[in-house]
């Protein structure tokens, strides 16, 4: 089954998405990823202020089947985390590109955006 892959976002091989909004970006996991994981029961997020390099694990998504690390698409400093996931982790399943977002970051190295996939390329990887 084909999963929604919105245009205008950046994607990683590890199934994170990144929406760039000025100097900042919002990070989540793709519809494909949440479908592979199954029902998400817990999301562990970093502390605001923490800095990560591109491809570094910043959190954990736990489903009934497995536990997976989630990785930074680009180097960034966490400026906000989605607190709603503490009580409603299922938002990741229900609305992966919207209410199920994970963290908002300040992008520290815009050059790294060039290494990410666009929607067409990501769609091809997961079809």
Binding site for another protein (CB under 8 A): 42, 44, 47, 62-67, 69
SS3 57: strand
Q: Which residue has the tokens 């609305």?
A: 95
Closer residue to another protein (CB): 41 or 113: 41
> Closest distance between another protein and the C-beta of residue 87, in Å?
11
Name the minimum Å distance from CB 21 to another protein: 28
All residues at 6 or more sequence positions from 110 whose CB lies less than 8 Å from its CB, including other chains: 74
In the complex, minimum distance from the CB of residue 8 to another protein, in angstroms, rounded to a whole number: 34
Query: Residues 6 or more apart from 114 whose CB is under 8 A from it?
Result: none
Q: Pick the closer one to another protein by CB: 67 or 121.
A: 67
Q: Which is nearer to another protein, 65 or 110 (CB)?
A: 65
Spatial distance between the Cα atoms of 60 and 120, rounded to a whole number of angstroms: 27
């Amino acid at each position: 089954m084909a999963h929604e892959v919105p245009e205008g976002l950046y994607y990683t091989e590890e199934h994170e998405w990144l929406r760039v909004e000025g100097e900042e970006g919002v990070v989540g996991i793709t519809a494909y990823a949440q479908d592979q994981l199954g029902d998400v029961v817990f999301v562990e997020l970093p502390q605001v202020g923490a800095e990560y390099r591109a491809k570094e694990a910043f959190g954990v998504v736990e489903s009934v089947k497995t536990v997976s690390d989630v990785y930074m698409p680009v180097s960034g400093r966490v400026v906000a985390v989605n607190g709603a996931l503490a009580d409603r982790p299922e938002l990741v399943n229900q609305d992966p590109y919207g209410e199920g977002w994970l963290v908002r970051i300040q992008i520290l190295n815009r050059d790294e955006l060039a290494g990410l996939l666009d929607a067409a390329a990501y769609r091809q990887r997961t079809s």
